[in-house]
């Protein structure tokens, strides 16, 4: 493998072992995998609370339905949060353990509004788990790190996703998705970085 391809993989595909945490974050998405994984981690006692975040993608005008997953989740979902909440509850997470954030329309807002929610609940986030799709791992960590600079953030992506470190080079969809993430990690961070350092 060419070194630069490995460098792309190392940058994009982050994965940490879960540790006991204060909360599990799920950035907005239409995939079942991240919420199912969050439910498993909750059941294993890794965190007492789960915070799915998301209204719907800013360009879509509404929640477009489930995009992937081995199991279909039935229901009328107006927001990503409602969809993720249903998955969590179907997989054993009690409603009392699920916080609500259903206004965010892009990933950076997921982090911003999640921080507002945890502050409102007076939750001191010292360590958190982020459940996302594997190709979104770097960008999710970057955004949540910006809003939770003192916290240890562990990325635990959905393990059964179609696009992973070992599969992304096998399809045009995988290549476009991963390189698109690489572009977004640079393109979307111009204003954020300037706000942080200037």
pLDDT at 194: 83
* Comparison of pLDDT for 184 and 198, the residue scoring more: 184
The tens digit of pLDDT for each residue in 91-104 reads 999 999 999 999 99
Q: Name, in order, each residue with C-beta under 8 angstroms of 168's C-beta and a sequence gap of 6 or more.
A: 9, 135, 174, 175, 177, 178
The tens digit of pLDDT for each residue in 21-55 reads 999 999 999 999 999 999 999 999 999 999 999 99
Give, in words, the CATH class of 15-161. alpha beta
pLDDT at 190: 83
Q: Looking at residues 179-198, what average pLDDT do you find?
A: 86
The tens digit of pLDDT for each residue in 58-90 reads 877 888 888 998 888 988 899 999 999 999 999
The tens digit of pLDDT for each residue in 128-173 reads 999 999 999 999 999 999 999 999 999 999 998 999 999 999 999 9
Residue 111, Cβ density class (10 Å: 0-12 exposed, 13-18 middle, ≥19 buried): buried
The mean pLDDT value of the chain amounts to 94
pLDDT at 196: 84
pLDDT at 189: 81
* Comparison of pLDDT for 17 and 1, the residue scoring more: 17
Give the start-to-end residue ranges of the domains of the chain.
15-161
pLDDT at 191: 78
SS3 134: helix
Q: CA neighbours within 13 Å on the CB side: how many for 101?
A: 27
Please tell me the distance from the alpha carbon of residue 93 to that of residue 97, in angstroms, as a whole number: 7
């Amino acid at each position: 493998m060419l070194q630069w391809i490995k460098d792309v993989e190392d940058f994009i595909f982050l994965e940490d072992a879960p540790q006991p945490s204060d909360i599990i974050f799920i950035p907005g998405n239409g995939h079942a995998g991240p919420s199912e994984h969050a439910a498993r981690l909750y059941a294993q006692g890794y965190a007492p609370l789960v915070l799915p975040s998301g209204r719907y993608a800013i360009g879509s005008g509404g929640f477009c339905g489930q995009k992937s997953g081995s199991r279909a989740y039935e229901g009328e979902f107006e927001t990503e949060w409602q969809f993720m909440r249903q998955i969590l509850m179907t997989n054993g997470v009690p409603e009392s353990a699920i916080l609500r954030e259903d206004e965010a329309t892009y990933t950076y807002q997921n982090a911003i509004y999640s921080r507002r929610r945890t502050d409102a609940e007076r939750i001191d986030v010292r360590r958190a788990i982020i459940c996302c799709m594997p190709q979104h791992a770097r960008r999710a960590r970057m955004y949540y790190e910006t809003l939770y600079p003192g916290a240890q953030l562990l990325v635990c992506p959905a393990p059964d996703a179609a696009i992973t470190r070992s599969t992304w080079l096998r399809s045009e969809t995988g290549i476009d998705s991963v390189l698109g993430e690489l572009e977004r990690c640079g393109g979307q961070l111009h204003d954020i970085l300037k706000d942080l350092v200037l």
